[in-house]
Structure 1
């Protein structure tokens, strides 16, 4: 199987075929300004309270470096809030921007580390999910609807499936990520369809003949179908798997007009693949994070056909298998204590076990105590949530309400959609609750920070 993961470019309406530079194994650390007390704010009282954390070096681990840079960011933000001199504020803003840049670089590296540790030697099967997916992809015109909150292992399963299908040379796989194109592209059906077609051509190393098809006076989706049928399907030997990741971006209300036609087109393609011989080589994987599907007609929706797969959490036995794959030995009591905080969440479990394997000298009890704090192993995970919450005050207010309540509570559907997609809440009928004790413990201890978001 020729497995290709194609990501959109960030400029223009079509992806550019440019080489991507390799990320450095360690971040380039710019030395901090020197001086007794780090007197940027010009306030000796402030200096007594805020001595700068040490600047991370190449010898620091990725997680430790990330924590140090974030501590520096917090310090500079506090100093900026009370600094009065314009020049001092300007210098602090530069330092804040530097910290943000370093944090972003380190977070990208952490994400790569997590994906690397999820290779086949650490992949834990969740029967019968894998076999169900394999059977559906082996069927002419197969379609999988892969649903789970963020970081539940959807991409991991998708990679495992591609590897499994690669045992046969009859499959070519492409990943199309809806999180990459600009909002303007997603909002305009014509631009989106051109982007989609051009991306497939680029991923398959085919010439872009888009202009030949788009000059004709046809409906936009018919132009897309014609291009896909004549330029993509005919060029692929064997079967073609297209995995559309983060397709729930189209569930947002602002993309409603685009989504109706795009989803209708996918449903039509699925129908073609059931009956037309030249379309039967097509396989689709739709990957999304929420139960709240768009309101589509019965024959316009690709979410009521094919095989639905809901990723489950790890069981205690599967966690034991993962622990063994890392060469560790945790007691049933240790695993139970960890699951009490994070359930069987694949990412959170992976992070904990990977940490224990990386730092065998660190006691399990110490890790467990620090888990729901900013000093723990999920620090980066929490920071990814703060980035979102700080830009969406209504979401922060809703989360505050949920985390402080001892009973399930009600929210608007729009807020439920966002929080469920993030994996922060569970839902039963029309009521929601903190998904894990980890989240409730952490955000309760940071309730004042939530209240400050306006």
Structure 2
């Protein structure tokens, strides 16, 4: 059998399937690579890869009831013939991959969606980190780059470990929640308890004399965490909404940092694992030792590579070539949402790639809503608008004030290289040039 057949067979045969990192180890081992070369290509520590591989060889050996390891993997399987049942199982999993039900791009991708493209090593790093006591995972990326989809996969990993999971989406919070700091802390604490399906007991633990931060801490330490009876993964989605209220943000984020620090000495806090997703830079004055944004595992969702764009096209059932992949990437630069939107319309037979590319930077193109939303944000900030005008007015890299450059980068509009920035993709350069410099 081939390595692809082996991987598909293991996915349907092993009780827990294969993790992305295990799949990577299998491929590299099949190619005869050493753990050192694997580490160099994946940015994993060699010892961690070796440990992961050792656990994999043990699983395979137990499953097939024969000794299987790095030195004989290919020898054992390459000449082995698939049984009829195994061939049928592989054919079924491949049919499921190649005949997906089309989903209109926009929201997060379900854990079982065939349209989710992994971007190694971030998935493996995140799924490993969530199992560590008292951990924090920080996912930062511009709008529509796949933050929530990645978060769902981390939560799925946590649930497979029998952890409790709770998601708080700050986009769902009404404006009145942010009217006072005390109201915000009570709303936050109450929501976590309700999602754990626990009886509300906030008034029993809240004490104005000791303050909201201490009250919130006691509510978690004495009630929520013990009642969970296992590790609790708390996912805080789109926390950039809190950035809009500096007084609340300063107290809330320093509280999260204090919980992280307490996990170093109090066992109960080791059961709390935090996932923070946000799409803008942090521009609130937090002292280094009071910020949760300089600890834990930082992840930044990257754009797709050409290989990943081609793989996504194939999952849409399109028989694409590298030439078509390069044409689309030349316009959208591998942006996940922009890529998927184009593939959706092409797969539906509504538009051709040529038509999409011609209309892309115009008000009649498929990206008009996305572009208008970004334009609204940019025009609300004069400094951002003026800076973006400078970037798109020339074909050469432009030097900007650091804070402005990072704001544009956090919106996904520019790439930063040293002290200089350039437009992140041709779509943004053309659209904003037409809209902002037409006079």
TM-score above 0.5: yes
* Pair 1:151-2:144 in alignment: yes
CA offsets 1:235-293 (integer angstroms, 9 cap, x no match): 213221111122234445xx333333222211111122233222222110111224556
* Partner Cα separation in structure 1 for residue 176 and residue 186 of structure 2: 13
Q: 1:153 to 1:188 in 2, by over 3 A?
A: same
Q: List aligned pairs for 1:29-428, cutoff 5 A.
A: 113-115=106-108, 120-168=113-161, 170-182=162-174, 185-186=177-178, 188-252=180-244, 255-292=245-282, 294-359=284-349, 362-389=351-378, 391-412=380-401, 415-428=404-417
CA contact (8 A) 2:389 2:437 kept: no
* Partner Cα separation in structure 2 for residue 210 and residue 350 of structure 1: 44
Q: List aligned pairs for 1:425-444, cutoff 5 A.
A: 425-444=414-433
CA contact (8 A) 2:110 2:149 kept: no
| Partner SS for 2:114 | helix
The Cα shift of 1:182 comes to 4.6
* Partner Cα separation in structure 2 for residue 244 and residue 283 of structure 1: 11
Moved segments of 4+, more than 6 Å: none
* Partner Cα separation in structure 1 for residue 192 and residue 274 of structure 2: 13
CA contact (8 A) 1:152 1:345 kept: yes
Structure 2 gaps, min length 5? 1-102
* Partner Cα separation in structure 1 for residue 386 and residue 218 of structure 2: 48
Q: 1:299 to 1:357 in 2, by over 3 A?
A: same
The Cα shift of 1:222 comes to 0.4
The Cα shift of 1:426 comes to 2.4
* Partner Cα separation in structure 2 for residue 401 and residue 435 of structure 1: 14
Structure with the greater relative contact order (CA < 8 A, sep ≥ 6): 1 or 2? Answer: 1
Structure 1 gaps, min length 5? 1-109
CA contact (8 A) 1:197 1:227 kept: yes
Q: What TM-score do the two structures reach when normalised by structure 2?
A: 0.70
Q: 1:368 to 1:119 in 2, by over 3 A?
A: farther
CA offsets 1:181-216 (integer angstroms, 9 cap, x no match): 355643632222111101112222223222222245
Q: 1:420 to 1:111 in 2, by over 3 A?
A: farther
| Partner SS for 1:121 | coil
| Partner SS for 2:218 | helix
The Cα shift of 1:304 comes to 2.1
CA offsets 1:295-332 (integer angstroms, 9 cap, x no match): 43332121222111122211111112211211111110
| Partner SS for 1:274 | coil
CA contact (8 A) 2:189 2:216 kept: yes
- CA RMSD, Structure 1 to Structure 2 (Å): 2.6
Q: 1:416 to 1:194 in 2, by over 3 A?
A: farther
Q: 1:260 to 1:393 in 2, by over 3 A?
A: closer
The Cα shift of 1:447 comes to 2.6
The Cα shift of 1:156 comes to 0.8
Range with bigger deviation, 430-439 or 323-332? 430-439
Aligned residues: 337
